[in-house]
Amino acid sequence: MQKIFQGDLIRISGFSAMFLVVSKNAFINHTGMLHVCPVLKNESEGPLHIIVSGEREKGTVICEQIKLIDPAIRGCNRIDRISYYQLMNISDAIQGIFEYD
């Protein structure tokens, strides 16, 4: 199986959208699972809809739609990677969902 890291853009068998891996690498290594958010084409930007681009792919990360998947069962392939700066913006948006008022 292909090694997948935080910040990778992946394809999951059976889905047309790509996904961004948002799990910390320590979590991935310990559990073998991935937290992912869908990355859609032609979606408008907003507080939780953040535009990202890799070397070949680009789209809008839908931060409120976090899913936990097992890549060994789902059939995942890495297709691109986003920059650390973009990953920081995504992580901040996701963390903001769970902060207290």
Q: Quick check: pTM over 0.85? A: yes
Give, in degrees to the nearest 5, the angle at Cα 45 between 13 and 5. Answer: 40
**Residue 18's closest CA among 45, 46, 54?**
54
**pLDDT attached to residue 41:** 95
**For 26, which DSSP code?**
H
Residues of the chain with pLDDT under 70: 1
* Residues 45-69 pLDDT 10s: 999 999 999 999 999 999 999 999 9
CA distance 58 to 61: 9
**pLDDT attached to residue 99:** 85
- Topology adopted by domain 8-96: SH3 type barrels. (2.30.30)
CA distance 17 to 1: 21
